[in-house]
Structure 1
Amino acid sequence: MQLPREAGKIDSWLLVIVLALLCIGLIMVYSASAFSAARYQGDASYFFQRQLVAAFLGVIAMLVTMRIDYRLWRRFSLIGMLVALPLLVLVLIIGTNAYGASRWLTLGSFLSFQPSELTKLVLALYIADWLARKGKQVATFLYGLAPFIILVGIVLGLVLLENDMGTAIVIAGLAAAMFFTAGANIVQFLLAAACGGLIFGLQTLSGYRSYRWKGFLDPFQHITSINLQLYQSLLALGSGGWFGLGLGASRQKTGWLPLPYIDSIFAILGEELGFIGSAAVIILFLFLAFRGFRLARRTQDIYGALLATGITTWLVLQAIVNIAATTGSIPYTGVPLPFISYGGTALVISLAAVGILLNISRYIQEPEAPALSKQAITKTIKKRTVDKSRP
């Protein structure tokens, strides 16, 4: 089925959800960072101003990608990978080390760039194109699973060398979701997932990450050392109660909780806005998941369906990892909360990715058989059965 060449209306609900999260994020960055900014920078709005600039650039990026036909990105996905992979290597050599990880390329005193954030978007674009071209070969080991594991394994290896387990989990999740959606052999997929899970498990038990497991199993011990961030996060969330202490009234951000405006911002949100505010943010991410996966299901071409699946999985899974780590539901690992945590690179790239989702929504009609609909999948299975039965 040919897609319409004339774009229609965007998914306004998706846009409203993202803008709501963005506004909440700007408010919380100012609230969570004001004490640290005043103490160390001499200006309570220092981090807020930088985040505001990033939000402005991100909205521009979203408006641009929203206007570009998403199918055009297929032409540049390989070039994007050829740029992203050397950047991941470069950051290991000359990257700035902060918080125990080497993730940033610093350009001057004002601008820093995180290649792993760009890699998430570029990888989603490339894998969607690669899987769409493979067609039914995705279900084979030689032409499907093997090259997929090599490609994703290289990216994950470079990210893990940066000591960035959280980003590696997100990248593995979005890649696995896209591969499964494209029609992977379920037995091969489960075996590969088990092997991948074993590798990740061994990584979490080595080096400093083993202390995070120790802290996860007993979060109320070692509260001044390995469990400092988790304990203070739980204390902040518990102090918030149902309705919170009030916007700006957090006590944990005043030197007690590390990184209150980055990885731990959800704890400050819970302390100031309470259970109601925390639940509202979680519900917004659930709506984002619903609109994104609904969009993937209704898209009429497999490339658009895979791309929407990858981007949605990335944003939602990253939110899950951040919130789960903050609440002690998983061993602590640092990733920003999309649209809310402080971080210019993450915000700009995430908004650009949302723009692509919005562009995909502009080409949605009421199709007879969307790419991921039951009818289309049944038709594909029947076609494969007929092809195999032929001599």
Structure 2
Amino acid sequence: MRPAGTLTTSAGTARGAGPARPPAGSDEALERAWLPGPLGRWVRAVDTPVTSFVLVASATGMLLVLGLLMVLSSSSVESIAASGNPWSIAVRQGAFALVGLPLLLVAARTPALWWRRMSWLVLLLALVLQGLVFVPGLGVEVNGNRNWISVAGFTAQPSEAIKLALVVWGAAVLSRKQELLGRLGHVVVPVVFPVGLLALGLVLAGRDLGTGLVVLLLLAGLLYAAGAPLRYFLLGGGVAAVGVAALVVQEQHRLVRIQAWLSGQQCTDIYGECWQPTHGMWALGSGGWWGLGLGASREKWAWLPEAHNDFIFAIIGEELGLPGTLSVLLLFVALAAGMVRVAQRSSDPFVVIATTGVLVWVLGQALINIGVVIGVLPVVGVPLPLVSSGGSSLVTTMVALGMVMSFARDEPGAREALSTTVRAARSGAAVVAPARASRRPRR
């Protein structure tokens, strides 16, 4: 296999005719699409050993910065009402980002072998933490959901750790059982039962249907990446649909939300269940093409519930307009493209399955959140990854994406290219510093 960036020409190619098209089925044809002219040169220029790492790292960083900015803007009014300090919610979110950043850097330097070795420990710890929400004095109920624990004033949502634990553990187990997944028992016993149902059961026992749906998507993504037969997805999808329907019917507030969503524009209860989705749509609509300006939202003035959390995408549309919402979508597309590239270029089944699990988790949760805000899905309490307020979600998502970055660093040539870039940056800084010092005026 030739290194990326090289193309051979046939013996009969005329001078100046450009690169010859690689034959169908060749290594070059598998590694890159053949494109003529400037577009082909651009594709070959960006197709480097560090492309996957740059896509994941840059999209993560920009979404994180945008999220911190929008949490500050969307939460200022609620912060004033709660504590008199417009910065309180934003400062707490910034503190969680500062906690998550070193964890991301550590995760980005942890080899896949260590992730595989830690899989059982991570899973057991996450399950224990999720079980603590049912302990009197530790578990906290918020908006009808009992999925938080509070210790010494510190509140955390263990169900977010469940997602990361299932990714690591599921990838470790399925990567060893790929050849046996044609047998139903090797899918049901290690993945779906008892661990999948145990983790999902603990989440649903706390009445958090939104997180439960994300866990279901995550499990499906892991099985798909491992190569499970299609018939299992049809069977599992049917069972999941029946289970979700039963959970909706037995909770009145969920049933009312579904009915409000199905009624669409005919929903007249704008002071009840239609209040939040209606004001979310009003926020997007009032933003127009270019937005009202950063900080100029009207809906955040106690009109739109969860403006800094589940409905922060509506505030982005109101304040930053179409460019703001499209920027969020493009950043998630770039993040997904980087993770797809990592999975495609890896020969390690663990890396492929784990990366796909993180992709389905983050992108699926983002699509659910945005779908709720724009009205194509019923209201479900799911935050927008890296953007919405919420420390547990932010930290676990950063760690998961740091793990994907560690996989991207293991692509052929990536470590060498990154080391060269770091050395060049340090050399440039060393040259610039004396030059600046020499330009200082003498006293």
Q: Flag whether TM exceeds 0.5 (same fold).
A: yes
Partner amino acid for 1:193? G
Q: Which residue of structure 2 lines up, in the alignment, with residue 379 of structure 1?
A: none
Q: Which residue of structure 2 lines up, in the alignment, with residue 130 of structure 1?
A: 173
Partner amino acid for 1:75? R
Over residues 217-264 of structure 1, what are the superposed CA-to-partner deviations in whole Å (9 max), with x where a residue is unaligned?
A: 124321111111111111111111111111101011001111110111
Q: Which residue of structure 1 lines up, in the alignment, with residue 259 of structure 2?
A: 214
In structure 1, which of residues 100, 108, 120 is the aligned counterpart of residue 152 of structure 2? Answer: 108
Q: Which residue of structure 2 lines up, in the alignment, with residue 13 of structure 1?
A: 55
Could you tell me the percent identity over the aligned residues?
Answer: 34
Over residues 52-90 of structure 1, what are the superposed CA-to-partner deviations in whole Å (9 max), with x where a residue is unaligned?
A: 111111111111111111221111211222221122222
Q: Which residue of structure 2 lines up, in the alignment, with residue 373 of structure 1?
A: none
SS class of match (1:139) = coil
In structure 2, which of residues 281, 291, 296 is the aligned counterpart of residue 234 of structure 1? Answer: 281
In structure 2, which of residues 302, 313, 323 is the aligned counterpart of residue 255 of structure 1? Answer: 302
Q: Which residue of structure 2 lines up, in the alignment, with residue 303 of structure 1?
A: 350
> How is 1:323-342 mapped onto 2 (pairs within 5 angstroms)?
323-342=370-389
Contact (CA 8 Å) 1:145, 1:188: kept in 2 or not? Answer: no
- Deviation, 1:8, is 8.1
Q: Which residue of structure 2 lines up, in the alignment, with residue 4 of structure 1?
A: none
Is 1:118 matched with 2:165? no
Contact (CA 8 Å) 1:10, 1:359: kept in 2 or not? Answer: no
Partner amino acid for 1:12? V
Contact (CA 8 Å) 1:269, 1:277: kept in 2 or not? Answer: yes
Q: How many residues align?
A: 360
Partner amino acid for 1:136? E
- Deviation, 1:178, is 1.1
Partner amino acid for 1:307? A
Partner amino acid for 1:120? K
- Deviation, 1:9, is 8.9
Which consecutive residues of structure 2, in runs of 5 or more, have no partner in the other structure?
Answer: 1-48, 415-443
SS class of match (2:250) = coil
> How is 1:15-30 mapped onto 2 (pairs within 5 angstroms)?
15-30=57-72
Is 1:269 matched with 2:269? no
Q: Which residue of structure 1 lines up, in the alignment, with residue 441 of structure 2?
A: none
- Deviation, 1:119, is 0.7
Q: Provide the TM-score with structure 1 as the length reference.
A: 0.89
Mapped to 2, the partners of 1:266 and 1:143 lie a distance apart of 41
Deviates more, 1:290-299 or 1:23-32: 290-299
Sort the Cα spacing of 1:9 and 1:291 in 2 relative to 1 into closer, same or farther, 3 A.
closer
Mapped to 2, the partners of 1:262 and 1:235 lie a distance apart of 17
In structure 2, which of residues 55, 80, 103 is the aligned counterpart of residue 38 of structure 1? Answer: 80
Contact (CA 8 Å) 1:96, 1:102: kept in 2 or not? Answer: yes
Contact (CA 8 Å) 1:205, 1:213: kept in 2 or not? Answer: no
Mapped to 1, the partners of 2:376 and 2:51 lie a distance apart of 39
Cα-Cα RMSD: 1.7
Mapped to 2, the partners of 1:63 and 1:355 lie a distance apart of 6
Contact (CA 8 Å) 1:77, 1:125: kept in 2 or not? Answer: yes
SS class of match (2:181) = helix
Q: Which residue of structure 2 lines up, in the alignment, with residue 158 of structure 1?
A: 202
- Deviation, 1:22, is 0.5
Is 1:175 matched with 2:222? no
Could you say which structure has the larger radius of gyration?
2
Mapped to 2, the partners of 1:250 and 1:289 lie a distance apart of 30
Is 1:293 matched with 2:337? no
Partner amino acid for 1:180? Y
Mapped to 1, the partners of 2:77 and 2:357 lie a distance apart of 37
